[in-house]
Amino acid sequence: MRLSRFAAVLLVGLLAWPVLGQVILNRNLGTEPPSADPAISTDTTSIEIIEHMFLGLVDLDENTMAPVPELATRWEVSEDGLTWTYYMRNDVIWVKYDPQQGKVVPDLDANGQRRSVTAYDVEYGVKRTIDPNTASDYAYVLYIIKGAYEANTADPTSPDFPALMDAVGVKALDAFTVQFTLEAPAGYFGQIASMWVARPQPKWAIDAHGDAWIEPENIVTNGSYAMKSWIHNDSMVFVRNPYLPDELWGGGNIDEVHCVMVVEASTEFAMYLNNELDTAGVPLPEMDRVKADPVLSKELTIRPYPCTYYYGFITTKKPTDDVRVRKALSMAIDRQTLIDQVTKGNQLPANTFAGGTIFGNAALDPRIAPWALPENLGGWGYDKAVTEAQNLMKDAGYPDGEGLEIVLMHNVSEGHARIAQAIQAMWASAFPKAKFTIETQEWRVYLQTISKETPIENMPNVYRLGWCQDYPDENNWVHEVFNPTYGNNDPRMSPDDPQVGQYVAEFDRLTYEAGRLSDPDQRAAMYFEAERLLVDEIVAIAPIYYYTQIYVAKPWLTRRNHDTPHWDTWTIDAELKAQG
């Protein structure tokens, strides 16, 4: 080999070496994460990055949604279900990215010692979420912990406030054992313990930097990836944490994750086609093309996702104060056609509020609202449902919809408008003499309008909303959203309702009590009945479809599916990627 040629090869090799050595994932987060602080985050983007930076006591199995060990290797629940003790591993340390050394390094204390992730960090994290000075949006999720409600709602300047904080039922028994005391035996506390609001947090970093402790120059983490940079509203880079114990690593091979924050779905898709992203969502107008394309259709994945799209009925406003009208309207929605023609994401028609992976759900069980399901899923099918709907409407005094006036409201969005127009057309053909009006409002104004404070004359009859889980348990669904006493109860269900009052009272009782029991079978049976009352007897809502997650991934990327992505389980075939 001639010397110059050798030199050239050497040079190219040296230049390419750092690039070839690292496996890099290019991902679009879709938006700027509003936060990376476990105590205050509420949205899926923030939670995705928190999932990788902060370990929980437990994680959730991606299929069964049961708690599995993470920081805690085992846990015990007392006989009465009130005391939960978690025994933690002692080999996880706090780390940070050091730009000088260009790598992830252990975070050292004043004596130069590595800091372990301890039970004290858990106690501090939970109490910080509950502390009213933190003003966490999701502190209420922890109200099941003894004393949490009292502390969170106290005036932090009052003299007895420190005592209230001390009384909160979370205590580090020693460096690696943490104990929770609950208000009531809650069977779902295992799921709560997996949530970001209950994760260990680094007190020293938060004390030093305040709300800015999550900025890349300040942040200290313990999860599978550490934050290298965060250029707000533009990009983030995460680097694999080499100090993570092997058992906690998900088995993937990605060293660095380069995230961008492109909002526009069509731009994201263009970047994917241009190989600037390894995986991306699919814009709705492109769905038909992607499904038909021989290459793209192989890169497409559609999987269930724990969110539900629904229409709610205001049960105190004429004419939807009549349960027959509500039921007829719900029946006359052809869910399968809507999915095939409008939403196009292989969603499943919904006959209950909570979908397939949530504990206690009864999704697609034809014993509940069989009229919402097509025949191949064991339901009635639309023809039978619409006939029955017309009979109900006649009973209610609106033959063919004569004299019926319904206002349907949704927030301004192209997608919601398409769905509303399709449903309006279905209703108009089922009840040709009725008048269906669609109204739209800007998001926050809309939320204000449908809340309980709005006078009834300003309310629509039907409103649109969706719900996504915070934790996979019916308590987060039927209870927190619809319980007439403790939940949001946007439909304004009341036990005084002349037609369905007794069902509402029963629904109230079931959803409240099931959240304070530990026996899984008993809880599941109660939630089944609660779902049946909500959708089939009270008909406070018309569930429409269970969401799906839709994405394309390049052939070199293997994504393991979690509802919250786990990058540490993903693998990239670097050779294949280099070939493009």
Partner 1 sequence: MIQYLVRRLLWAIPVLLAIMVVTFFLARAIPGGPFDFAGEKQLPESIRKNLERKYGLDLPMYVQLGRWIWDSFRFDFGPSYASRSQTVNDILKRTFPISFQLGVLALLFALCVGVPLGTIAAVKQNSIVDYGATFMAILGVSMPTMVTGPLLMWVFALILGWLPAARWGTDYTQLYLGFFPNILSGKFWLHAILPAITLGLAYSASIARLTRASLLQVIREDYIKTAYAKGLPARRTIILHGLRNSLIPVATVLGPMFAGIVTGSLVVEQIFGIAGMGKYFVISITNRDYPMIMGSVLVYSVLLVAANMLVDVSYAWLDPRIRYD
| List of residues contacting partner 1 (CB under 8 A) | 32, 34-37, 40, 42-43, 132-140, 149, 152-153, 156, 211-215, 229, 231-235, 260-264, 266-267, 270-271, 273-274, 276, 442-445, 447-448, 451, 465-468, 488
Calpha distance 50→59 (Å, rounded):
13
What is the number of other CB atoms lying within 10 angstroms of the CB of residue 69? Answer: 17
Identify which of residues 156 and 399 has a Cβ nearer to partner 1 in the complex: 156
Closest to partner 1 by CB, 192 or 262:
262
| Measured distance CA(483)–CA(481) in Å, rounded | 6
- Hey, what's the torsion of the CAs at 142, 143, 144, 150, to 10 degrees? 130
**Nearer residue to partner 1 within complex by CB, 298 or 444:** 444
Backbone dihedral region of 100: left (phi > 0), alpha (psi from -120 to 50 degrees) or beta? alpha
Which pair of tokens denotes residue 416?
């919601």
Between residues 253 and 316, which has the closer beta carbon with respect to partner 1?
316
Task: Name the minimum Å distance from CB 165 to partner 1.
Answer: 14
3-class SS at 487? coil
Q: Smallest gap, in angstroms, from Cβ of residue 184 to partner 1?
A: 18
Shortest gap between Cβ of 445 and partner 1 (angstroms)?
Answer: 5
Q: Do 39 and 205 contact (CB within 8 A), yes or no?
A: no
Between 91 and 234, CB nearer to partner 1: 234
Smallest distance, partner 1 to C-beta of residue 266, A: 6
Instruction: Please say which residue, 5 or 452, places its beta carbon nearer to partner 1.
Output: 452
Q: How far is the CB of 80 from partner 1 (least distance, A)?
A: 27
CB of 229 to partner 1, least distance (A): 8
Minimum distance, C-beta of residue 5 to partner 1, in the bound complex (Å) = 28
Question: Which C-beta is closer to partner 1: that of 412 or that of 576?
Answer: 412
The H or E element that residue 9 is part of is: helix 3-21
Kindly state the smallest distance separating residue 140's Cβ from partner 1, in Å.
Answer: 5
Least Å from the CB of residue 451 to partner 1: 6
Q: Which amino acid belongs to residue 417?
A: A
CA distance linking residue 133 with residue 155, whole number of Å: 9
Show the CA angle centred on residue 432, arms to residues 429 and 438, nearest 5°.
Answer: 75
Can you point out the beta strands (E) in 266-327? 279-281, 300-313
Phi, psi (5° rounding) for residue 60?
-110, 135
Instruction: State the Cα–Cα distance between residues 198 and 178, nearest whole angstrom.
Output: 12
Q: Which is nearer to partner 1, 331 or 552 (CB)?
A: 552
Min. distance of Cβ 37 from partner 1 in angstroms? Answer: 7
Q: Which residue, 213 or 570, is less far from partner 1 as judged by CB?
A: 213
The answer to whether the beta carbons of residues 170 and 127 sit under 8 Å apart is: yes
Q: Which is nearer to partner 1, 313 or 427 (CB)?
A: 313
Q: To the nearest 5 percent, what fractions of the chain are helix, strand and coil? A: 40, 20, 40
Nearest-angstrom CA–CA distance, 549 and 551: 7
Q: What are phi and psi of 171, to 5 degrees?
A: -145, 130
Q: What minimum distance in Å lies between the beta carbon of 33 and partner 1?
A: 9
Cα of 564 vs its chain's centroid, Å: 8
In this complex, which beta carbon is closest to partner 1, that of residue 117 or of residue 139?
139
Nearer Cβ to partner 1, position 29 or 71? 29
Q: How far is the CB of 395 from partner 1 (least distance, A)?
A: 34
State the CB neighbour count (10 A cutoff) for residue 364. 19
The two three-digit tokens of residue 170, written as one number: 């979370």
Smallest distance from the beta carbon of 551 to partner 1, in angstroms?
Answer: 18
Minimum distance, C-beta of residue 35 to partner 1, in the bound complex (Å): 6
Residues 6+ apart with CB under 8 A from 228: 97, 99, 216, 237, 238, 239, 256
Q: Which is nearer to partner 1, 61 or 211 (CB)?
A: 211
SS3 552: strand
Q: Are residues 439 and 408 in contact, defined by beta-carbon separation less than 8 angstroms?
A: yes
Q: How far apart are CA 310 and CA 139, in angstroms?
A: 26
Apex 163 CA angle, 159 and 168, nearest 5 = 140
Q: Which is nearer to partner 1, 55 or 260 (CB)?
A: 260
> In 10 A of CB 428, how many CB atoms?
15
461 SS3 class: coil
* 520, 527 Cβ separation under 8 angstroms: no
Size of the chain in residues: 580
Q: Kind and range of the H or E element at 181?
A: strand 177-181
